[in-house]
């Protein structure tokens, strides 16, 4: 496992602020600190981009997995403006569709399921995974069983696994994995959002608990930094990606062409993930049991 950049201790973790600062100003200042933490990880970002570009140039995919709010970073990578095919977003609704908060599809159920051993195996059983693929697994706490088992399975299949965690928060959190593993234990490279213990970054007068989390901010910067580096590698290799681009930049007709072409490219790559499913041997490897 390759660790992320410098220690997280410092102004991002500090909840104290001047009484003259407005809460919004404090939050924005904390976010600048997160960006500095991400910038210090440039060598690790480039390593992740090397692995991901290699998978995409080989005609395969980078698998993306996140449960709970980590799905935001999966969707930040692909598909959205400024992104391109080559990624396989794995987002289980049972783990992420909890916007009703309570009742059917509530947050209680999602938080229960992300701790369940064996669910990761059932999810990944749907795909013909190749050692040529690579993976990005995202969990701020790095302690939930499903994300950890996803990373474990990917590593057993020979994939390079990159994890995005909030290192300070993860180190202060307990794992619910049966063997006590954390996501960082099952990754070849660990990137750090820079968010503090507990994620929330602003202490407000009259509240005992801090508000306004930072992991999505740091995580989004990491994801888009990786994306930019991957795009540069693909272009240098003569395989410039087809990028989802807004109509107000290239015109409505060209934008529609780019979207259709990128979606078709995505479909062709995903087809390879299903062609050997159900066979005893998948591409010369024993399928996951």
- pLDDT by residue (tens digit) across 146-183? 999 999 999 999 999 999 999 999 999 999 999 999 99
The answer to whether residues 78 and 64 touch, using CB atoms and an 8 Å cutoff, is: yes
Number of domains in the chain: 1
**Per the domain annotation, does 268 fall within a domain?**
no
**Per the domain annotation, does 58 fall within a domain?**
yes
Overall size of the chain counted in residues: 289
What local confidence, expressed as pLDDT, does residue 112 receive?
Answer: 87
- Using DSSP's 3-state secondary structure scheme, residue 124 falls into helix
**Per the domain annotation, does 262 fall within a domain?**
no
**Per the domain annotation, does 210 fall within a domain?**
yes
What local confidence, expressed as pLDDT, does residue 11 receive?
Answer: 41
**Per the domain annotation, does 140 fall within a domain?**
yes
**Per the domain annotation, does 231 fall within a domain?**
yes
What local confidence, expressed as pLDDT, does residue 7 receive?
Answer: 42
What local confidence, expressed as pLDDT, does residue 257 receive?
Answer: 98
What local confidence, expressed as pLDDT, does residue 72 receive?
Answer: 95
Per-residue pLDDT tens over the stretch 130-145: 999 999 999 999 999 9
What local confidence, expressed as pLDDT, does residue 284 receive?
Answer: 46
Domain that holds residue 189: 23-241
* Tens of pLDDT, residue by residue, the chain (289 residues): 666 554 434 444 455 555 678 999 999 999 999 999 999 999 999 999 999 999 999 999 999 999 989 999 999 999 999 999 999 999 998 888 878 899 988 889 888 888 889 999 999 999 999 999 999 999 999 999 999 999 999 999 999 999 999 999 999 999 999 999 999 999 999 999 999 999 999 999 999 999 999 999 999 999 999 999 999 999 999 999 999 999 999 999 999 999 999 999 999 999 999 998 887 544 445 444 4
**Per the domain annotation, does 7 fall within a domain?**
no
- Integer Cα distance of 82 and 221 in angstroms: 14
What CATH number has the domain bearing residue 87?
A: 3.40.50.10490
**Per the domain annotation, does 286 fall within a domain?**
no
């Amino acid at each position: 496992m390759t660790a992320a950049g410098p220690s997280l201790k410092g102004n991002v973790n500090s909840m104290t602020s001047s009484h003259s600062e407005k809460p919004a100003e404090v939050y924005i200042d904390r976010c600048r600190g997160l960006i500095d933490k991400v910038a210090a990880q440039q060598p690790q970002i480039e390593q992740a981009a090397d692995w991901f570009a290699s998978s995409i140039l080989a005609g395969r995919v980078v698998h993306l997995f996140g449960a709970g709010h980590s799905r935001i970073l999966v969707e930040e990578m692909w598909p959205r403006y400024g992104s391109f095919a080559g990624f396989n977003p794995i987002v289980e609704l049972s783990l992420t569709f909890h916007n009703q908060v309570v009742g059917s599809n509530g947050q209680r159920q999602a938080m229960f399921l992300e701790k369940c051993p064996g669910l990761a195996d059932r999810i990944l059983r749907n795909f013909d995974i190749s050692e040529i693929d690579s993976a990005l697994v995202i969990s701020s706490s790095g302690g939930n069983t499903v994300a950890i088992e996803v990373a474990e399975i990917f590593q057993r299949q020979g994939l390079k696994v990159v994890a995005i965690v909030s290192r300070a928060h993860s180190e202060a959190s307990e794992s619910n994995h049966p063997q006590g593993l954390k996501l960082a234990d099952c990754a070849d490279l660990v990137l750090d959002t820079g968010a503090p213990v507990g994620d929330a970054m602003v202490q407000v007068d009259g509240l005992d608990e801090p508000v306004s989390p930072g992991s999505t901010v740091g995580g989004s910067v990491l994801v888009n930094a990786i994306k930019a580096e991957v795009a540069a590698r693909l272009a240098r290799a003569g395989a410039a990606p087809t990028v989802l681009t807004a109509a107000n930049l290239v015109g409505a007709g060209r934008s529609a062409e780019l979207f259709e072409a990128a979606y078709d490219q995505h479909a062709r790559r995903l087809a390879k993930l299903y062609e050997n499913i159900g066979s005893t041997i998948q591409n010369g490897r024993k399928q996951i049991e």
